[in-house]
Amino acid sequence: MRARARFWTGCATSAWSRTAISAAADRAARRVPGLGVDAVVWHEIEHQTAEEAEVSASFLAFMAVATIIAAVGVLLDQPILIVGSMVVGPEFGPLAALCVGLVQRKWHLVRRSGIALGVGFPFGMLLTIGAVWSLTAAGLVDESMLLADRPLTDFIWKPDALSWVIGFLGGIAGILSLTSAKAGTLVGVLISVTTVPAAANAAVALAYGVNDEAVGSALQLVVNLAAIVAGGLLTLLLQHAVWRIVSAARHR
């Protein structure tokens, strides 16, 4: 009898715990904007982007490696190296964190993202300038390679309206890949915009003193960064608005 009493007491306690946890979960789900699964995604993207906005040794190493790879691709006029640098480059993490911080009004996240970008790109460019000088001294590359016709990669330092369009679409796709947890899409984003390659082209041009190309590359970099942030912000704002509408409709 005592064993049976303990059994039923345990069942009642377990059932009460499940009910209490379920009630708390229901209250939390009703308080957040949008669907419950969307709330989890918002929490995850904020956590993930916050980690990627850190100026870590690995972040700087990836930035330097990506920029140097892109610099070699510029000099050799090899798009495959440009694509490789875009995949290696870690710059989308801070850019996504910047968008999330602006939408969520997390100013500390905005500040950290700005620092990561403000440190990462100059760091990669400085190391790239040193790498170009070293390769030039070793006789592996020279200024004539930069000044020669480069039909496959000269778009990197010649910004136009399409540069903004591609960057804007890249920002949209990048944020969607994060909020929908489809990380595979992120690879397509990184090979669709010219952030690291533009920084690399600017570094190579500075190393050889080709000022007009350095200015064009810097402008391309600024255009793409601005377009990515604009696309990411618009995507997050639309998602936030849609989820609020859906939440309001569910609670009528």
Residue ranges of domains in the chain: 44-247
pLDDT over 90 at 69, yes or no: yes
Q: Is 17 helix (H, G, I), strand (E, B) or coil?
A: helix
Helices (H), 105-210: 107-137, 143-147, 161-179, 184-190, 196-208
pLDDT over 90 at 192, yes or no: no
Lowest mean pLDDT among 23-32, 40-49, 237-246: 23-32
The pLDDT value recorded for residue 34 is 46
* Closest to 170 (Cα-Cα) out of 159, 156, 185, 152: 185
User: pLDDT: is 205 or 179 the higher one?
Assistant: 205
> What's the CA gap between 207 and 138, in Å, rounded?
15
What is the rounded average pLDDT of the residues 227-239?
91
Lowest mean pLDDT among 56-65, 92-101, 164-173, 177-186: 177-186
Instruction: Give every CB contact of residue 221 below 8 A, 6+ residues apart in sequence.
Output: 121, 194, 195, 198, 199, 202
pLDDT tier, 125 (very low <50, low <70, confident <90, very high otherwise): very high
Instruction: Give every CB contact of residue 71 below 8 A, 6+ residues apart in sequence.
Output: 128, 131, 132, 200, 201, 203, 204
pLDDT tier, 148 (very low <50, low <70, confident <90, very high otherwise): very high
Instruction: Note the pLDDT tens digit of each residue in 77-100.
Output: 999 999 888 888 888 889 988 998
User: pLDDT: is 50 or 169 the higher one?
Assistant: 169
The pLDDT value recorded for residue 26 is 53
- Tokens, residue 170: 């890249």
Q: Rounded to whole angstroms, what are the CA distances from 222 to 63, 164, 206, 217?
A: 17, 10, 17, 9
Q: At CB < 8 A and 24+ separation, what contacts does 74-77 make?
A: 74/146, 74/150, 74/153, 74/156, 74/197, 74/200, 74/201, 74/204, 75/132, 75/141, 75/145, 75/146, 75/204, 76/145, 77/148, 77/150, 77/151, 77/152, 77/153
pLDDT over 80 at 180, yes or no: no
The pLDDT mean for the chain works out to 81
pLDDT tier, 41 (very low <50, low <70, confident <90, very high otherwise): low
The pLDDT value recorded for residue 36 is 47
On whether the CB atoms of residues 136 and 142 are closer than 8 A, the answer is: yes
